[in-house]
Amino acid sequence: MPTDNIPAGFQRWPLHWFQCPSCGHRSHTSVARVPVPHRLRTLYQFWCEKCGGYSVLKYPKRKGWTVLITLALVALAFVAFAPNWIASGIAAFIAFPTAWFSLNRLMNVYVPDGGS
């Protein structure tokens, strides 16, 4: 149940799986920000709409792998139908959100942010 009282500097990110480490709230849309200046550990800071707690990724380097694997799968889907450009575009259009959401769901692990 989305609320309009999102903290300043945070924004809603669709297709980005979130599970609050404090209360267990789960959502397919996260509320997050990229603090500046940032440390690698807090490259992304997440806010829970249910309990108001802040969290960060437990393994922040996995985010890079998520991006690379998603791009590789989209390229593979595009090339698989290369002679037919319309089919290639449709395959890539379907592959991107599917791969992105699935990999976010599998690879994102959250821990409470003690530095906020």
pTM: 0.76
Question: Residue 62 and residue 108: Cα distance in Å, rounded?
Answer: 8
Model confidence band, residue 14 (pLDDT cutoffs 50, 70, 90): confident
Question: Residue 116 and residue 107: Cα distance in Å, rounded?
Answer: 23
Domain count, the chain: 2
Write out the residue range of the structural domain in which residue 28 sits. 11-61+108-112
Asked if 18 and 46 sit in the same domain, the reply is yes
Task: Tally DSSP H helices, then E strands, for the chain.
Answer: 2, 5
> Contact at 8 Å (CB) between 43 and 60?
yes
Asked if 70 and 39 sit in the same domain, the reply is no
Asked if 20 and 39 sit in the same domain, the reply is yes
Asked if 38 and 76 sit in the same domain, the reply is no
Structure tokens at 53: 């707690």
Model confidence band, residue 15 (pLDDT cutoffs 50, 70, 90): confident
Each residue's pLDDT tens digit, 35-80: 776 665 567 889 999 999 999 888 888 888 888 999 999 999 989 9
